[in-house]
Chains A and B, each alone.
Chain A
Amino acid sequence: MNEVLLACREVGICYGERCLVRALHLEVVAGERWALVGPNGAGKTSLLHVLAGVRPADGGTVELAGGPLSHWSVERLAGLRALVADRWIDPFPTRVLETVIAARYRLRGMPGAARSDGESETVARRCLAAMDCAALAERDVRRLSRGERQRVALAAGLAQDTALLLLDEPISHQDPRHQVQVLRHLAQRGDGTIIAALHDINAAARFATHALLLAGDGNWRAGRSGDVLTQENLSPLFATEIIQIEVGVHRVFVSTGGVLA
Chain B
Amino acid sequence: MGLPRLRAATAFQILVAGTLLALLLALRFGSVAIDTTALLHALGDLLQGGDEQSLAATLLTLRLPRALAAMAVGGLLALSGGLLQALLRNPLADPYVLGVSGGASCAAMLAIAAGAGAAAIALSAAGGALLALSMLFVLAHRALFARDAALEQGRDSAILLTGVMIASLCAAALSLALSLAPDGKLRTMVFWLLGDLGGIVNAGLAALAVACWLLLLVLALRDAGALNLMLGGELQAYTQGVATAQVRRRLITLTAVATGVAVALAGAVGFVGFVAPHLVRYFVGANQRVVLPAASLLGAILVLLADTIGRTIAAPLQLPVGALTALVGVPVFIWQLQRP
- Residues of A with Cβ closer than 8 Å to B? 49, 52, 54-56, 74-75, 77-79, 81-83, 85, 87-95, 98-99, 102-103, 105-106, 108, 138, 140, 160
Contact = CB atoms under 8 A, between A and B. Distances in A.
Contact of B225 (A56, A90, A108): A108
Nearest to A89: B233
Contact of B3 (A81, A88, A91, A140): A140
Nearest to B245: A74
B63 interface: no
Contact of A89 (B89, B147, B149): B89
A103 B1 CA distance: 24
A20 to B, nearest CB: 15
B229 interface: yes
A101 to B, nearest CB: 10
A88 B233 contact: yes
Contacts of B2: 93, 140
A27 B226 CA distance: 33
B239 A94 contact: no
Interface residues of B, number: 30
19 contacts: A55-B148, A74-B242, A74-B243, A75-B241, A75-B243, A77-B241, A78-B240, A89-B89, A89-B233, A91-B91, A91-B231, A92-B91, A92-B281, A102-B229, A103-B240, A105-B226, A105-B240, A105-B241, A108-B225
A77 B149 CA distance: 14
A52 B231 CA distance: 20
B148 to A, nearest CB: 5
Contacts of A98: 287
Nearest to A94: B286
A105 B288 CA distance: 14
A181 B58 CA distance: 75
Contact of B239 (A56, A82, A95): A82
B240 A95 contact: no
B231 A92 contact: yes
B89 A105 contact: no
Contacts of B151: 55
Interface in B1-52: 1-3
Q: Give the 10 A-B residue pairs with the shortest CB-CB distance, closest first.
A: A78-B241, A92-B286, A106-B241, A89-B233, A54-B150, A55-B150, A91-B89, A83-B239, A75-B241, A49-B150
A105 B231 contact: no
Nearest to B246: A74
Contacts of A78: 239-241
Contact of B238 (A54, A94, A99, A108): A54
Contacts of A106: 240-241
Interface of B: 1-3, 89-91, 147-151, 225-226, 228-229, 231-233, 235-236, 238-243, 281, 285-287
Which of A77, A88, A94: most chain B Cβ within 10 A?
A: A94
Given A75-B243, A93-B285, 9 more contacts: A56-B148, A74-B238, A74-B241, A82-B239, A85-B235, A85-B236, A92-B231, A92-B281, A105-B241
Contacts of B286: 92-94
Given A54-B149, A88-B232, A94 B285 contact: yes
A94 B241 contact: no
Nearest to A73: B243
Nearest to B236: A85
Contacts of B147: 56
Which of B3, B225, B229, B236: most chain A Cβ within 10 A?
A: B236
B242 A105 contact: yes
A248 B252 CA distance: 61
A54 B237 CA distance: 11
Contacts of B3: 93, 95, 138, 140
B232 A102 contact: yes
Contacts of A49: 150, 235
Contacts of B1: 92-93
Given A52-B239, A95-B3, A102 B91 contact: no
Contacts of B236: 83, 85, 88-89
A221 to B, nearest CB: 25
Contacts of A55: 148, 150-151
